[in-house]
Structure 1
Amino acid sequence: IPEKYVIVHEKLGTWNSPEWQEWIRPTFPEQSIRKDYD
């Protein structure tokens, strides 16, 4: 998941539920890796 997507979804609150956290965890690397995909 690119860092820019993380920023948008954090502002919107769309990934705040426990279900979403479980679903995105496997595709949620460290911030440095996410920034490489921006």
Structure 2
Amino acid sequence: MLKINDIGPQHYRDAMAHFAGHVHVVTTDGPGGKRGATV
């Protein structure tokens, strides 16, 4: 069973700032059809 740790929102954001990176979503709806990619 998982142990749940109760941390505050600021501590969570501070921790994620060290690991999270940028995410870009690219989409198109052109003659070739609908396409999308997450980069």
Q: TM-score, normalized by length of structure 2?
A: 0.36
Q: Which has the larger radius of gyration?
A: 2
**Greater share of residues in strand:** 2
Which one has more relative contact order, counting CA pairs under 8 Å at least 6 apart? 1
**Greater share of residues in helix:** 1
